[in-house]
Amino acid sequence: MFLPFSCNKKSTVTTNEKEKDGKKREYRSAARSRRLIRDAYAALMQEKPVDKISVSDIVRLADLNRGTFYAHYANPQAVLVEISDEIVSTMQNFLVDFNFSHFLQNPLPLLSKVEELLTANFDFYRKINLPAVFADFTDKIKNILIERIASDTSLPKTVRNSPEFRVALELFAGGLISVYLSFVQGKIKADSTQITGALNMLIRHAFVQFF
């Protein structure tokens, strides 16, 4: 009497498992395609101007078909836009629970997150050189940092509103980003650990006069 019910239940479980496995394979395949497209784009940026990179160039180097490319991107420029947006989004996520006062006391946790991001993607970031493609990329990152600190209510209002603090903040944010860009571009002869250590030491003393 109960055999058909048991079989149906087993069949349902098996079907659900197959659907889950299928979705996992589809996700892995899509992720692989995007990675191949992005890597191909980065490699092509070493050979020709961005506006000369075509879909044909990308799919030929990535060994994919045009349909796969258009399943993920509307055009070649969309590849760079996605990469830029991802970096901006990552920086915003780093700053979700950001407290500037705590950061000044111990900058290392946030600096270590940035170091980990850069070292994990170092060769890729060096190839794409986003600041050279998007003139506003550096300002966008800098403004995110400045706005987050300026709106941090853990700081005394008198400090946040002082012209001296705003000048120091502009110098701090611009300098920090400049150091990281110079590191990625190979202009600073130091490894990521040395960069993090130097920044950690400098930041701890940079705003002492305001607190």
Q: What is the residue type of 31?
A: A
Q: Is the pLDDT of residue 5 over 50?
A: no
Higher-pLDDT residue of 150 and 24 is: 150
Q: Is the pLDDT of residue 177 over 70?
A: yes
Cα three-residue angle 104-121-75, rounded to 5 degrees: 120
Predicted confidence band of residue 71 (pLDDT cuts 50, 70, 90): very high
Mapping DSSP onto H, E and C, the string for 2-58 reads: CHHHHHHHHHHHHHHHHHHHHHHHHHHHHHHHHHHHHHHHHHHCCCCCHHHCCHHHH
